[in-house]
Structures are given as structure tokens and as C-alpha cells.
Amino acid sequence: MGCGMSKEGMDPEQTFPPDEQNQNVTAHKKVPTQDGLDAKAHAPREGPPSNNNRNFKLEVFDEAPPSYGECPGTLPSGEFSNFPFGVIVILKLLKAAAELTYWGHKGAWAALRDRHGQIWLDSAYRLSPVTQRAILLYAAIRLLVGKALDSNMTFYFTTFPNLETEQLSDSEIKTLKALMDVFSANTFLQACQLIRQHGTALATQGLEEFVNNKDSFLETDTQDEKLVKLLALTRDKMKGLWHGWRIRDLTFEKLQTLYKEARKETRKQPMLLNNTSFIYQMAVDSYKRQLESKSIYPLTCTFILGTQLEPVEVEVIQQCQLLGRDAVREVRKTKGSLFRRSTQPVPASAAEHGGSVAKELELEGHQFCIQAIVFCDQLNEQSKRAYQNVDDFLEGEPDDINDVTFVSEVMFLLYFLSAVWIFKTTTSHDPRVDGWAELRKTAKYNEQHIVDNDKVIWLPSHRLIRWFVFGIVDDDEEDEAQFSNNETRDPRPDEIALANCVKLGTVPDVGS
């Protein structure tokens, strides 16, 4: 399998990093047409290997870059040859993605600098272990690259809110915990008992009124059916209290621990499984609140999913897409005077608008978008079609806020994505990227393994990414630690050499 770029039919607006252009391209076989654009990408190697017994571990190689050292052009070299192989492969991939340009977008990671990001991890307990690790791997890369760029990002779980957030008061935290208790009930009678037990915390939530209202249920409803209706209302009440974790408060280790806790939490309630439509509603509601408060900023919501999607959920999600479309149209009217006078023509490209991609994207209506990464190895055909229907809805409209990318979790864990497909998953706020001809000509997955012989995927630390991928040389952290915290370290060779040359002298006594 190759990840090199075909030069035939290359768009004039795109450029590729030298390393990507010069790689040898091996033969590919076509994938049968299915699931839209993604199925048209070339298949790597001989197809996905079996996912049996692939107990991969994810670890971060947290070695700091050389002090004061400029970034080398390539890895490995010299002292970098001791880096785990997977770290080198991933660093090269991230850098190749950073050097791609298309329609004025300067690299796959530009959006992480310019846009706010919400990253949602599917934490359903029914996900297979392989799917869970694939979700965590993609989230980890976004976390590490985001930290390298000091991005404004927040991480969420589909089944588990942040109970320690500083954005809620003590009484709001009590209300959220009470709602979670009710949501964990196994029977309708138990849920009613918990509502009474948390009467003070739930006084303004309307749950008791809902239960006592005979119009809330049908006469033919069973106890389980009543419970499902009550659970749906309870979760809906959590929306305004549902916060995530800011990127500055996260490390990979903490993200991994939280993901485990989130999956454990969702085991408490197997009755309500439609988490995907719920987070679409959450994302659109969040953006509508921004619009109402006039605090408008570009926002990309990235959903990393692996849960089966039922056809009944598609209609709910499509209604969310319509609401999102209306919201971005409202943004255009609200912000129109900021980026376009009535006498100014709509630009056909970024170049015609003085290189301002942001202004053109506002004209295109992409202040807000939802990108879904759907791991599909474990999905049935009905779910795949359901996700495809979500992707196809509003396709071709200028205000299509949604994009779906299907990914094999097995291939992703073994090879990651190729640079072009990384670019697609980070730049979906511009619909032209979805129609990029290079996506159809380029293998979806990288050609080199990222897994070592011990089934460990070593990820580069955000410091290594900052240094190698983006060429940012920071001050020596050990120096700062020594002088600010009174900590000691061993002297560097240059300091030893300088100390050996030091001579002592006295200042002449000018008074004598």
C-alpha cells in the first residue's frame, strides 16, 4: 500500500510536501463502491487483517526535544535513531499533513489554530475493545497536536459529563449528579423513588411533574416503556449542565483514565442507547446559544464514533442539521457587515479575496460544522447506510454543516491515516475538501506500521510534535525549573566549557 500522491490531474491550488511527492507508489486494488466517497479510496495492502487478539496499548513517548536544537529536516538521524519506530512514523505523517495546501488552507492543522474545537469520544460500553482503542488513538492525536499548538479545544464523552467543572456552581453540580442517579435507574419505580429522594436538587427540573402527568404515557405503556420515556427526558435536562474538559487540563494519561470511567458509567444504563443523535442535538444547541449571546466564533465539532446508528435516529439528526444550517445562515446575516459590503462581489477563491480564507469560509457559511469519524468494522449494513444518509443530507448545499468519514479501526490502529485523509478530517468546514479529487486517488491509510512488536503504539509527546512538525524551538524547561523552583540539574557541556574558561578579576578602586 502506498501513501504517495498521484501527480496526474493535480489541482493547481494544491501543493504537496517533497517527501510525499517522492515516495514510491505501489499498486492498489479498488474497493467495491459503497458508502460514498470513502469507498472510492484505494485499499491498502491486501485489506484489513483480522482484529482478533489485537490488544494494542497506547503510550506517549515523552522525551523532550534537544535543548536549543533546531529541528532536523528528516527523522531518524543521529540521536533520534533511538526513538520508537512508531513515533518516527507518526511524526513524519503529522508533518506531511502540516505541509499540504489546498484552496488556501495551509496544512491540516491550521484549523486547530484558527477554530475552536469540540472533540466527542463515543463511550458506549458495547463498543468492541478494538473500536475503543481506535477512538482513543484518534482523540489522543488531536489532543497532542492541539497541546502543541496551544489550541482552544474541549473534550467530551457521549455518556459522561464533567462533574468537577468550575463552570457549574455547587448547586448545579448537585442537580447534575441527581439527574445522573435517576438516569442510572434500572426500573421505572426505582427512578420515581430517586426523583423523590433528590427532591431539592431536582425541584426545578420538572421530572416529578412529568411522572405525575397522565398525558406523559400511554395507557398501554409497560414499565420499561415508561422508564425509557423518563430517561430521555432526564438526559435532555442534563444538556445545559453538560461540560467537558479543557485541553489545558488534560494529559494523554488523564484522557485515557476518563475514557475508562465514561465507559464504566454507561454500563449502568443499557435501556437508552441513542447517544449519537443526542450529541448532534448538544452540538447544535451549543452553537445556537453562542448565536443568541452574540459570542460568535468558528467552531468545529468532531465526533469519534463506533456505535450502531438506528434509522429512527437519522431523522432526529437531520432535524439537527437543518437547525445548524439555519444557525450558520443567521451568522452570515449577523456578521455580514464585518466581512462583506453590499458592493463587494463574492470571491471565487481565497486568492481573489486577498488571501483571507476565513472571510471566504464565512461567506460559504462554515462558521460551524460537524465532522464525524465513524469506525465501521463492527457496524452492520443498516448502520452504515444510516450514517451515509446523514452524510448525504443537504449534500451540495452551501450550508451543509456535516461531513462523515468512514474508517476501519483495524487499519487505523495498524497504519493510521495517510496525510491527505488526515487533512480531510481536520478541514471539513470547507466542503471543497470533501470533493478533492486527490482523496479518490490516494490510499486512505499510511503504508507503514505504527505498532511495534510488543503491540504498543508509541505516540510522540506534544513537545516533540511542537518541535519537529511545527519547527517551534522553546526555551529550555530545565533552565526555567532551575531558576524558578530552585531545582538543580547537571551542567550542559557548553556550560562546563565556559566554566573552564572563566577568569577572576577585581574592579579597580577608583577612590585610590
Distance of alpha carbon 309 from alpha carbon 307, whole angstroms: 6
Instruction: Annotate 477-501 with three-state secondary structure.
Output: HHHHHHHHHCCCCCCCHHHHHHHHH
Bond preceding residue 491 cis, omega within 30 of 0: no
Is the pLDDT at 378 greater than 80, yes or no? yes
399 in the same domain as 303:
yes
| Residue range of the domain that includes 53 | 18-162+244-340+357-485
Name the most confidently modeled range: 8-12, 186-190, 384-388, 448-452. Answer: 186-190
Given strand 299-305, what is the order of strands in its sheet?
A: 245-246, 153-157, 116-121, 299-305, 368-375, 402-407
Residue 300 phi, psi dihedral angles, 5° rounding: -115, 125
Domain total of the chain? 2
213 in the same domain as 106:
no
What pLDDT does residue 508 have?
Answer: 55
At position 88, the amino acid (one-letter code) is I
What pLDDT does residue 358 have?
Answer: 43
213 in the same domain as 191:
yes
The better pLDDT of the pair 488, 49 is held by 488
Residue 371 phi, psi dihedral angles, 5° rounding: -110, 120
177 in the same domain as 46:
no
What pLDDT does residue 28 have?
Answer: 36
Q: Could you tell me which of 379, 474, 375 has the C-alpha nearest to residue 425?
A: 375
And the C-alpha cell for 170?
Answer: 455547587
* Phi-psi region at 71: left, alpha or beta (left = phi > 0; alpha = psi -120 to 50): beta
pLDDT average, residue stretch 49-64: 66
Name the most confidently modeled range: 238-247, 283-292, 366-375, 424-433. Answer: 238-247
What pLDDT does residue 14 have?
Answer: 44
What pLDDT does residue 155 have?
Answer: 98
308 in the same domain as 184:
no
Q: What is the mean pLDDT of the chain?
A: 77
Residue 511 lies in a domain: no
Q: What 3-state DSSP class applies to 130?
A: helix
pLDDT average, residue stretch 39-60: 53
pLDDT average, residue stretch 280-290: 81
pLDDT average, residue stretch 164-171: 94
Question: Which residues are CB-neighbours of 259 under 8 A, at least 6 positions away?
Answer: 121, 123, 132, 135, 136, 139, 157
227 in the same domain as 257:
no
Q: What is the pLDDT of residues 61-114, one digit of tens each?
A: 877 665 545 555 555 555 666 788 889 899 999 999 998 877 667 888 988 888
428 in the same domain as 401:
yes
pLDDT band at 418; cut points 50, 70, 90: very high
Q: What is the pLDDT of residues 24-42, one digit of tens each?
A: 333 333 333 333 344 334 4
Distance of alpha carbon 151 from alpha carbon 237, whole angstroms: 30
DSSP, res 168: S
Q: What is the pLDDT of residues 302-336, one digit of tens each?
A: 999 999 988 888 888 888 777 777 776 776 665 54
Question: Which residues are CB-neighbours of 368 under 8 A, at least 6 positions away?
Answer: 287, 298, 299, 300, 301, 324, 327, 328, 331, 401
Beta strands in 177-307 (DSSP E): 245-246, 299-305
What pLDDT does residue 322 have?
Answer: 79
471 in the same domain as 442:
yes
191 in the same domain as 79:
no
Q: Could you tell me which of 289, 193, 291, 312 has the C-alpha nearest to residue 242?
A: 289
201 in the same domain as 146:
no
